[in-house]
Structure 1
Amino acid sequence: MTVAHEIIHFHGTPDDTVSLTYDARLLRRKKLITDQGVPFLVDLAQTTSVTGHDAFLLTDGRKIAVIAADEPLMRVTGDLTRLAWHIGNRHAPCAISDDGLFVQREKVMRSMLEQLGATVEDVTAPFTPEGGAYGHGRTMGHDHSHSHA
């Protein structure tokens, strides 16, 4: 099986793609299957959060681009500034758009948001929340030390 020991920042035409949910995009060692059905092993030196601008560089030179997969989310509308503060206070990942705030489906979060006056709608979409305190990666401290090509 081909192995990926490295993640590269990538904007070209990939050899294949792999669609991963937000939670699945945090990994260190895991067997994945590309969208064309080709298995490969990710074996990184440390746990890393990958994004839609990243690709796995396989030992045979192929580049497998990461795509944010559709997943169950909640679209939150209402007083967005106030609601965003409460979501952030819970350290929950959140995507911000002109259409509202998007968070992963979770019944306790839904209940809190509805009690705060939010309108909450179930949607299925790719989830690409805002980065951590310094604008990239997860709040856990992804240091962005992988290669750029």
Structure 2
Amino acid sequence: MLILNQRTTAPATDSVALAYDERKRSRLKVTLASGAEAGIFLERGDHLHGGDRLAAEDGSVVIQILAAPEKLIEAVADSPLLFARAAYHLGNRHVPVQILPTENGGKLRFQIDHVLAEMVRGLGCAVAETEAPFQPEAGAYGGGHQHHGDEPRSDLHDPGHGPHRSVPKIHEFKPR
């Protein structure tokens, strides 16, 4: 079995499609598109994103991680204000959310949760189930943000480097 544990930007020779919950795991047995069995071994807390690439220990194989389509809730807001309200309420509950633009407002995708779907419907969003790759925002401290698409993100995998690795400094607020 191949052991995949090294991030790389080398061209991929194989791939594996993983759902969001699988991409959050640091230890995972997978079957590659070629049919080969492999084990993914990452540092605890390290997550994979669609477009990431991992190399085998011996360098013989480079796989590309694909975000697998999965069942999601899609909430569409028809105005920027409604979009902001829906995003705020989901964020306030620490829900992983994928943010997509629309012509008038925005679209939010999140994992199936009918209580949350009813909440954003109650705010005024059009809500439906969909099936799509799920690539939620990483968050302010999550090592950057992910744009839709499967581009490799090598700047996020070099600790201490890249524009999104440092934790912002908190300045004391001094009222006048």
Q: TM-score, normalised by structure 2?
A: 0.72
Going from structure 1 to structure 2, the CA distance change for 1:4 and 1:45 (only over 3 Å counts) comes to same
Q: Does 1:44 align with 2:51?
A: no
Match of 1:113 in 2: 120
Q: Does 1:66 align with 2:65?
A: yes
C-alpha distance in 1 between matches for 2:43 and 2:97:
28
Of structures 1 and 2, the one scoring higher in RCO (CA 8 A, sep 6+) is 1
Q: Does 1:92 align with 2:95?
A: yes
C-alpha distance in 2 between matches for 1:39 and 1:109:
37
Greater Cα radius of gyration, structure 1 or 2: 2
Give the partner amino acid of 1:59. E
- Uncovered stretches (5+) of structure 2, i.e. residues with no partner: 146-155, 160-176
Of the structure 1 ranges 41-50 and 12-21, higher mean CA displacement relative to structure 2 is found in 41-50
Q: Does 1:53 align with 2:51?
A: yes
1:30 aligned to which of 28, 31, 41: 28
Give the percent of matched residue pairs that are identical in Structure 1 and Structure 2.
33
Contact 1:6/1:146, CA 8 A, preserved across alignment? no
CA-CA distance at 1:58 after TM superposition: 0.5
Contact 1:18/1:34, CA 8 A, preserved across alignment? yes
C-alpha distance in 1 between matches for 2:33 and 2:127:
31
Contact 2:76/2:108, CA 8 A, preserved across alignment? yes
Contact 1:77/1:120, CA 8 A, preserved across alignment? yes
Match of 1:141 in 2: none
Instruction: Write 1 or 2 for the structure with the bigger share of strand.
Output: 1
- Uncovered stretches (5+) of structure 1, i.e. residues with no partner: 139-143
C-alpha distance in 2 between matches for 1:127 and 1:107:
17
Q: TM-score, normalised by structure 1?
A: 0.84
Q: Does 1:130 align with 2:128?
A: no
Contact 1:49/1:137, CA 8 A, preserved across alignment? no
